[in-house]
Amino acid sequence: MSTFFAPETMRTDRFVLRSWMPGDGAALREASVSSYEHLRPWLGWAVEDEPIEVAEARVRRFRARWLLNEDYVVGIWSPDGQRVLGGTGFHLRDGFGWADGVAEIGMWIRGSEANQGLGTAVLSAMLSWGFTEWPWQRLSWHCDARNVASRRVAEHVGMPLEGTLHGEPAHDGRGRRETMVFGLTRDAHAARAVS
């Protein structure tokens, strides 16, 4: 298998998408801890507080896994690169590697920036970036059916709903949830761009 060098950065007028780097831990911690109440209902990793060293170890692990082509966790930064607006990523699931061409997009937007169209803009950018500079043939978005904002974002960018998975474990490990799966292929995305 040939070596894959993942694209590092995408810029728009509103945000910069890039790999987390050593040294980003404090900024990640500030954004995620201040968003705790917003994230807690939907994301199992959200914590009320986190020592900076733990956050720093987290970004270093993200970077290591990026370089090893194991997972691609992306920071969403303000255009001047000073403030974390959230996080996203191309996540490899079900034992697939980058060469299989399938990934799941995840996302969180910091509480103070939510509900202002940013999640929709970032998902749209991730699809464009993912189907041009990255080798993805298929990108998916999975959301708890009760998570209206997440569902709305997928609908806004025109990812078709492919189905609903019943009885999946809820993110907190307690109870079950319905998971809506949205998906788009590279060909369908390209066809939409020319039509």
Q: Which C-beta is closer to ligand COA: that of 11 or that of 152?
A: 152
Of the candidates 43, 74, 139, 184, which one interacts with ligand COA according to CB under 6 A? 43
Q: Which C-beta is closer to ligand COA: that of 177 or that of 186?
A: 177
Q: Which C-beta is closer to ligand COA: that of 69 or that of 155?
A: 155
Report the site for ligand COA in 95-124 (rule: CB under 6 A).
107-109, 114-120
Six-digit token string for 128: 């464009």
Binding window for ligand COA (CB under 6 A); candidates: 38-46, 71-79, 94-102, 187-195: 38-46
Burial profile 5-16: b = 16 or more Cβ within 10 angstroms, e = fewer: eeeeebeeeebb
Number of residues forming the site for ligand COA (CB under 6 A): 21
Of the candidates 19, 140, 150, 179, which one interacts with ligand COA according to CB under 6 A? 150
Distance, CA of 60 to CA of 114 (rounded, Å): 26
Whole-angstrom distance between the N-terminal and C-terminal Cα of the chain? 35
The distance of closest approach from Cβ of residue 91 to ligand COA in the complex, given in angstroms and rounded to an integer, is 11
Distance, CA of 29 to CA of 96 (rounded, Å): 30
Neighbours of 19 (CB within 10 A): 20
Measured over all CA atoms, what is the biggest interatomic distance in the chain, rounded to whole angstroms? 50
Binding window for ligand COA (CB under 6 A); candidates: 4-12, 59-67, 127-135, 149-157: 149-157
Distance, CA of 171 to CA of 127 (rounded, Å): 25
Of the candidates 29, 38, 138, 186, which one interacts with ligand COA according to CB under 6 A? 38
Does position 42 interact with ligand COA (CB under 6 A)? The reply is yes
Minimal CB distance residue for ligand COA: 119
Contacts of 68 (CB under 8 A, 6+ apart): none
Cα angle for residues 75, 188, 98 (degrees, 5° grid): 45
Six-digit token string for 13: 């007028």
Q: Which C-beta is closer to ligand COA: that of 42 or that of 96?
A: 42
Distance, CA of 36 to CA of 59 (rounded, Å): 18
The distance of closest approach from Cβ of residue 82 to ligand COA in the complex, given in angstroms and rounded to an integer, is 19
What is the binding site for ligand COA (CB under 6 A)? 38-39, 42-43, 107-109, 114-120, 143, 147-150, 152-153
